[in-house]
Amino acid sequence: MGQEGHRGDIFIDQLIDESSGEYYPLPNWSRENRIELSKRIFELYSKAYVLDQEYSSSVVNAVEKEIEQKDASDSGLVRAFIKSYIGALDSIYGYPK
C-alpha cells in the first residue's frame, strides 16, 4: 500500500497490532483451499464492483497453471495466486469505473 494513507489502513494496523508484529507463515494450502479462497475473493470482487457474473472455475484453472511455474514457498504461492487471480478478474471484467 502507498504511503498516502487509505481508509482501510485502520483495519490493517489492527491486524498488525494483534500479531505483535510477528511473522506467521501460512501452512501448506491444497488446491481445494485455493479454490475456496478464489470463491471468497470472487464474492467480494463481485460485490465491490457490482459485477453480475457467475463464478468461473476456468479462471482458477488458468491461474493455477500460471503459478505452477513460480518457484516459491507455499505462502509465496498463495500470495502469487491472490495477485494473479485478481489480475485475471480485472483483465476479464475490466477495471472498475
CA 85 vs CA 9, 25, 36, 62: distances in Å: 23, 21, 12, 9
The domain ranges of the chain are 27-93
Burial code of 47-82, b = ≥16 C-beta within 10 A, e = fewer?
A: eebeeeeeeeeebbeebbeebeeeeeeeeebbebbb
Judged against a pLDDT cut of 90, whether residue 78 lies above it is answered with no
Residue carrying the nine cell digits 500460471: 66
Judged against a pLDDT cut of 50, whether residue 73 lies above it is answered with yes
Task: Convert the pLDDT of each residue in 17-55 to its tens digit.
Answer: 887 777 777 777 888 999 999 999 999 999 988 888 999
Select the more confidently predicted residue: 73 or 23. Answer: 23
What pLDDT shows up at residue 75? 60
pTM here is 0.71
